[in-house]
Structure 1
Amino acid sequence: MSVYINDLVEESLNHRAVNHPYLKALADGELPDTEWALADFANHYYGYSLHFPRYLTTVISKLEIAEHRNSLLENLTEESGFYGDDEYAELAAIGVEREWIEGVPHPQLFKRFREATGVTAPYSPDKEAIELVCWRESFLTTLTHGSAAEALGALGLGTENIVSTIYIPFVKALSRTNLSPRDTVFFPLHTAVDDHHQEALEEISLHFAATPAGKGDLRRGMIKALSLRSSFWDWMYERALTRADASAMMLAS
């Protein structure tokens, strides 16, 4: 891995999107009502997670080298719920049973989690919060209209590179609930399998980092994706704290 890509990886992992107070509060059990916050997250994040295959296919369509496209197509296969024997063995070692995930697309796994938290109302795009819509549309704009390097920076260095880290706080928070491992498998799955996605995207990034323009576009896409996610965490954190304020006012009245 080149020094430049390593530096970008390090920069992304030090970004506020990865070290946000919302994530820390989830991990440490410091939110006033963790179960409510998890249900709120499940409700709103679904509108982002649901479109992940679309994000991936958008980037694939921008890649000119067949080897690069094929590498990401393997990621798309895993997003559809199909893994190699090595992945199944790795997942079994952390308690993920094959029958929970085999043939189940990742958006469906998140929907399973969403419903387990008590969010049973059918998903309706017309009822999405504007904060979520702005995040998804801005992210898609970067992937669609940016250069191949910028799109790769957004999806790879700014997204897949951080997923195995940012989902750890959710795993910790969920361990303090009564939700079953099957219903919450989306999170440990991504802390393990997404390392493979990350490696594939970083290898492709090396190709674009060979030119000054490519380097600049990789970082631009990365920072855009990280900044958008950080803003979403800001909103989630404010909602979690406002919920506590509203509950306190009700008790005082």
Structure 2
Amino acid sequence: MSGEAKHESNNVGWDAMPPSSRAPAFVVTPEGTNDPDRKGAEAALHNLKQAQAEHPFWRNRFFKACTAGHLTKADFQFFFGQYYLYNRNFTRYLAALMANADNDYHRARLSENLWEEGGGLEKDKRHAEIFRKFLRDALEIDIDNTDYLDATRFFVREFLDFCLRSHPAAGSSFLSLGTEGIVSRMYTIMVEGMLKAGIAEEHLSFFRIHIGCDDEHAETLEDMMVSYMHTPDWYNTCLSSMNYALSLRHRFFESLYDALQGRKLQGVMSRIQARRSLAPQYPDPSLICFASGQRGAPLHEAEAERQNVKVSVERIPFKSEIIDTRVVRIPPGKLNERHKHAHEMILHVAEGTGRVQVNESTVEVKAGDTIFVPRWSLHQTQNTGDGELVMLAFTDYGLTRRAYQNEPPARPAPRREDAAVAQAVADAEE
């Protein structure tokens, strides 16, 4: 059943109940909790929070890229520029839940949440204003001229619509377990990615506030949710509402990740479709011809005696957008690392003889032979001759480094590596 269908069925079920049966069996009061079955509540909350922690949302590609350090400042500019529409509307979600609350104490506690979100009497301490400061100072985003994606507008509209139309048990679960209760873990992942992208710690106060403090907002919403636990089908209502909030956010983050990938290809595709040449009418010969015996720019060099590895790789400095051309040199009797990568590759043997393994197949090669290495296939080359093995490697790295979001940043080419480091490089490539 889709999230929309769950949402609709929950509303029908609650609305069909007579007012007397919809009233909570107990409510949280300022004097304490009138709870006849606190152990039952704790067990239910434990199960709900376990389902929250295991939701597929935590495995979205944006989080994986944050953890791996694959995102740039420009990526975060785009992501948080879109996320701002959700952030600036957050008090509307609370206000919608408050309007639906059928208990005046719940409304009073929600009004405290709204007051704190709004910074009280200090407008510069509004959470939305602190976030705007982050956007302006850290990411240099023009918040007044952001073009929001349809996916962003849908996400914000669905959040508000659910809070407006749902019974307070569903709405409080949606905003507690499905929203406020994930903030600390979610922002910790984002901060990790931003620090790896070079965004200074001094700009991350908005996130640190939400990670480090004991957030009473989630507790208020959770107390409100628990107060309805003796109403019919309470647990399933809370579970489906929480799951819907997490699924909405999961789809939103995945949509933004897709958009990030599309943006990386947009410039290249636009130039191709516009038939725009990358070369002037009379290009410099050095930009279109790599002469025999010429050396390219050093790209990678590894040596590990125990693995019999010794290889150097040079990049031919053509001004290409898609094709990446390299020269691979392996001394007699040596191998390069066994590895795989996102780009596909054609190897042309210019000098020497060797043996190339692609997955479980091995071929003997000599000068003039050409080998195709499909993307993500394990491959390794050994020099079986008496002289240097020289190969030209033609890859589509210029395309995959844009299209494949998880491509790790280029590392400096080491001049020499011991066995442990060389093995670590090979493992990382695999």
Superposed, 1:167-186 pairs within 5 Å as 167-186=187-206
Whole-angstrom CA distance in 2 between matches of 1:190 and 1:120:
24
Asked if residue 30 in structure 1 is aligned to residue 100 in structure 2, the reply is: no
Asked if residue 57 in structure 1 is aligned to residue 101 in structure 2, the reply is: no
- 1:8 maps to 48
Aligned length: 232
Change (3 A) 1:65 1:186: same
SS at match of 1:75: helix
Superposed, 1:86-235 pairs within 5 Å as 103-115=124-136, 116-123=138-145, 127-193=147-213, 195-235=215-255
In terms of fraction of residues, the more helix-rich structure is 1
Query: Which of 1 and 2 has higher RCO (CA within 8 Å, sep 6+)?
Result: 1
Change (3 A) 1:46 1:13: same
Deviation digits for residues 124-181 of structure 1 (CA, Å, limit 9, x no counterpart): 6xx4211011111111111111111111121111111111111111111222355444
In the TM superposition, residue 216 of structure 1 has moved relative to its aligned partner by: 2.7
Give the ranges of 4+ consecutive aligned residues of structure 1 lying more than 6 Å apart after TM superposition: 247-250
Amino acid at match of 1:69: R
TM-score computed with the length of structure 2 as normaliser: 0.50
Change (3 A) 1:18 1:77: farther
Deviation digits for residues 39-93 of structure 1 (CA, Å, limit 9, x no counterpart): 011210011101001111111122222222222222222212259xxxxxxxxxx
Partners of 2:69 and 2:197 within 8 A in 1? no
| Identity value in percent | 27
In the TM superposition, residue 247 of structure 1 has moved relative to its aligned partner by: 6.8
In terms of fraction of residues, the more strand-rich structure is 2
Whole-angstrom CA distance in 2 between matches of 1:237 and 1:61:
34
Whole-angstrom CA distance in 1 between matches of 2:43 and 2:61:
29
Whole-angstrom CA distance in 2 between matches of 1:217 and 1:182:
41
CA RMSD of superposed structures (Å) = 2.5
Change (3 A) 1:121 1:45: closer
SS at match of 2:252: helix
Query: Larger radius of gyration, structure 1 or 2?
Result: 2
Partners of 1:143 and 1:151 within 8 A in 2? yes
- 1:252 maps to 322
- 1:18 maps to 58
Whole-angstrom CA distance in 2 between matches of 1:151 and 1:123:
32
Whole-angstrom CA distance in 2 between matches of 1:82 and 1:175:
31
Partners of 2:62 and 2:253 within 8 A in 1? yes
Moved more, 66-75 or 46-55: 66-75
- 1:68 maps to 106
Which sections of structure 2, spanning at least 5 residues, go unmatched? 1-40, 270-319, 324-430
SS at match of 2:70: coil
Change (3 A) 1:66 1:169: same
Partners of 1:208 and 1:215 within 8 A in 2? no
Partners of 1:164 and 1:195 within 8 A in 2? no
Change (3 A) 1:194 1:119: farther
Which sections of structure 1, spanning at least 5 residues, go unmatched? 84-100
Partners of 2:168 and 2:225 within 8 A in 1? no
TM-score computed with the length of structure 1 as normaliser: 0.82
In the TM superposition, residue 237 of structure 1 has moved relative to its aligned partner by: 1.6
Amino acid at match of 2:125: V
